[in-house]
Amino acid sequence: MMVSKQELEARLENFKKVSRQYKLPLTPQKLAIFRILAGSCSHPGVQELYKQVKEDFPNISLATVYKNLKKFVDLGVITEIPVPGESPRYDAKLDTHSHAVDTASGRVYDLEVSAALPLPNKVLGKSVKQAQVIYYL
Amino acid sequence: MMVSKQELEARLENFKKVSRQYKLPLTPQKLAIFRILAGSCSHPGVQELYKQVKEDFPNISLATVYKNLKKFVDLGVITEIPVPGESPRYDAKLDTHSHAVDTASGRVYDLEVSAALPLPNKVLGKSVKQAQVIYYL
DNA sequence: CTCTATGCAAAATATTTGCAAGGGA
DNA sequence: TCCCTTGCAAATATTTTGCATAGAG
C-alpha cells in the first residue's frame, strides 16, 4: 500500500510548519529522512531509513539519522513504535491508531482504532498524551 | 505497591510447571531472576534485574540474565514491555492488561483492561496472540 | 548419565558524543 | 551573522556468541 499524494503533502507541510515554529533549519537531509518516512507504510527502522536516504545522500552519517529521528519524535511529527525483541520502528502517521505486529515476519501494520474501542483520555489522574494499542499476531 | 504472597506463589508455581513441561532444568539463578520479577511491580529492565540478582549471586553474568529473560519470554511466563526511547522492561503478570508509561519519570504502571475496552481476537484475518495497550502520560 | 545452564571473555551491534567545518534563515 | 546541523571518528552501551565447566534431573 502507498501513502496518497495528498496525505504525503499534508505530512510534509506539517513538518515544515512545526520546524518553522521551533525555528529549526530545514536541511535537505532532514527533508529526505522525513519524506521517506512520510511516504512509507512499512514502518522502517533506523538502519532501513539510513540505507534508503543513502541513495540520495551517499555521505550521510548514521549519527545524523539517529539525531534527526530523535528530534522528530521530540517535535511530535513522528512516532516511535517499540517492537519487542527488535529495535524501534518509526511512523509519520499522526492520528490515533493501533499497530499490529506480525511476530512471524516482523512486519508492522497500521490499524484504525475502531469506534468500538474508545480510549480513555485520563489514566491514573493524568491526561493521556498518546495511546498505542499493539496486537501481536 | 507489593505483589501479594499468594500471587507470587502462583506465579512461581506456574513458572515451575512450565519449566517441567519443557523439561528445562530449574537452576537457582533462574529462580532468583524470576522471583525478583514476579515479586516486583516496577517492571524492571535487564540492568536493574542484573543488579538485584547480583546481591544473591555476586558472580552471575549479565549474559545469563539476558539468556534467561529471552527464554522466559519464549516460554510465555513473562512479557516484554517495549518502551519508546528506552530498553525493554519485563513483567511477570500474565493476565491481559495494559501499561501506562509516565514519560516524565519513565515509570511503568499496570492497568486493568476495563470491560469497556474489549480487544478483538482476530486482526487482519490472523488470531491475536497478545495485545498491549500502552498509554503515554 | 545426558542435556541444559553458567560464567567469562570476546565479538558483534547499536547508540551517543565531541568537534571542526558547512549551511540555512 | 547566528545557530543549528552535518559528517566523521571515537567512545559507550547493549546484546550476542563460543566454549569449557558445572549442575539439574
B75-107: pLDDT as tens digits: 999 999 988 888 899 999 887 777 888 877 778
**Does the nearest atom of strand D lie within 7 Å of B66's Cβ?**
yes
How far: B53 CA to C1 C1' (Å)? Answer: 31
Residue B11's identity, in one-letter code, is R
Q: Which nucleotide is nearest to A60 (CA to C1')?
A: D7
In degrees and rounded to multiples of 5, residue B123 shows phi and psi of -140, 130
Instruction: Say which amino acid occupies A27.
Output: T
- pLDDT at residue B115 greater than cutoff 60: no
C-beta atoms of A82 and B80 within 8 A = no
Residue contact A73–B88, C-beta within 8 A: no
CA distances from A31 to A16, A53, B45 (A): 9, 10, 35
Which cell numbers hold the place of B73? Answer: 519470554
| Per-residue pLDDT at A117 | 59
Given this model, what pLDDT does residue B95 score? 78
Question: Is B132's Cβ below 8 Å from some Cβ in A?
Answer: yes
Q: What residues of chain A score a pLDDT lower than 70?
A: 1, 113-119
Does residue B82 reach within 7 angstroms of strand D, measured from its CB? no
pLDDT per residue as tens digits for the range A7-42: 999 999 999 999 999 999 999 999 999 999 999 999
Q: How far apart are CA B109 and CA A26, in angstroms?
A: 38
Which grid cell is B5?
A: 504472597
Closest residue (CA) to C1' of nucleotide D14 is B87
Spanning CA of B104 to C1' of D2, the rounded length in angstroms is 32
Q: Count how many Cα atoms sit within 13 Å of the Cα of residue A134 in the half-sphere of its side chain.
A: 24
Q: Could you give phi then psi for residue A71, rounded to 5 degrees?
A: -65, -45
Half-sphere exposure of A115 (CA within 13 A, CB side): 0
Coil/strand/helix, residue A30: helix
Nucleic chain C contacts, protein chain B, residues 117-136, CB cut-off 7 A? none
| pLDDT tens-place string over residues B4-31 | 999 999 999 999 999 999 999 999 999 9
Q: Which domains, and CATH codes, for chain A?
A: 5-136 (1.10.10.10)
The rounded mean pLDDT for chain B is 89
pLDDT of amino acid B113: 63
- The answer to whether B96 contacts chain A (CB < 8 Å) is no
Q: Could you check: is the Cβ of residue A68 within 7 Å of any atom of nucleic acid strand D?
A: yes
AA identity, residue A106: G
**What's the gap in Å between the CA of B126 and the closest CA on chain A?**
6
For B80, the closest of A84, A127, A133 (CB atoms) is A84
Structure pTM? Answer: 0.88
Whether CB of B70 is under 7 Å from strand D: the answer is yes
